[in-house]
Amino acid sequence: MRPLKRCEEAQAPSRGKRSHLRKGTAVINQKRMSYTKRTLFIRFIFSLYLSHLQRLALIG
């Protein structure tokens, strides 16, 4: 293979492309965060429900 010319060398993406890539990552992180919050909320409600059932079993 021949050596690359300066204009052909790998260069960092321009400022506009960088911000676009960063925005895409932020959207993915936001979706993942909302999924995590939802999962934690469901687990919390389920644990409350189980403790409630245990109390009923102890009282009843």
Asked, for residue 22, whether it belongs to a domain, the answer is no
Asked, for residue 34, whether it belongs to a domain, the answer is yes
Give the integer Cα–Cα distance in Å for 49 and 43: 10
Asked, for residue 60, whether it belongs to a domain, the answer is yes
Asked, for residue 46, whether it belongs to a domain, the answer is yes
Quick: pLDDT tens for 12-45.
656 666 665 666 767 777 777 788 889 999 999 9
Res. 52: pLDDT tops 80: yes
Asked, for residue 55, whether it belongs to a domain, the answer is yes
Tally of domains in the chain: 1
What b-and-e string marks burial along 30-47, b requiring 16 or more CB atoms within 10 Å of the CB? eeeeeeeeeeeeeeeeee
Asked, for residue 14, whether it belongs to a domain, the answer is no
Domain that holds residue 37: 28-60
